[in-house]
Amino acid sequence: MGFGRQRKFETEGELYEYAVGALGRRMRSVAELKRLLRNRVEADTEIGKTLVELVIRRLKDQGYLNDAKYAATYSTLRRDNEKFGRRRVVTELKARGVHGEVIDKAVDETFVEVNEEKQAREFLRRKRLQKPRDNKDAARIFRQLMRAGFAAKTIFGILRKWDV
């Protein structure tokens, strides 16, 4: 098991096969895949840049790479599985290099019928967080809900209903 240097690809076919394999392991945004491919070619040369652009264009044409689908799927999974709030999903998609307009559209469609308070309560249940005993516990729960992407208004509403 070696941790030597990564093999650099010199042809479009090799780079394309690598990209398809990377997409087969998990969905990626265009920016993520570009970063991954640049590490596998001589990125500072014109040939390397051209190879990356050719592979990206080919994957887009074949429908393997689509930021709009990626953002919609990602936000749905984070909403349903992780019970995260809207802000957390937006932040994560920005970190993955998805364009702002694409994020707004996908997240708006995903969270259109979501009751944020209900989603926050499901997050608390998923994390097995109980009613806080004192202000220190309430502050901890507040921070966790903020990190999970919920609005302060929603969090205060939940804490108020718990009489904290």
What pLDDT score does 45 carry? 86
User: Both 84 and 55 in a single domain?
Assistant: no
Distance (Å, rounded) from C-alpha 108 to C-alpha 113?
9
- 46-74: pLDDT as tens digits: 988 999 999 999 999 999 999 999 999 99
CA angle at 86 for the pair 132 and 111, rounded to the nearest 5°: 115
144 CB-side CA count, 13 A: 20
Domain tally for the chain? 3
19 within some domain: yes
Query: Which residues form the domain of 56?
Result: 12-62
Q: How far apart are CA 24 and CA 30, in angstroms?
A: 14
Instruction: Say if 1 falls within a structural domain.
Output: no
Amino acid 164: pLDDT: 61
- Residues 32, 57 share a domain: yes
Cα–Cα separations (whole angstroms), residue 13 to 22, 54, 96, 127, 143: 14, 10, 26, 45, 48
| Percentage of the chain lying above the pLDDT 90 cut | 85
Q: Residues 98-119: pLDDT tens digits?
A: 999 999 999 999 999 999 999 9
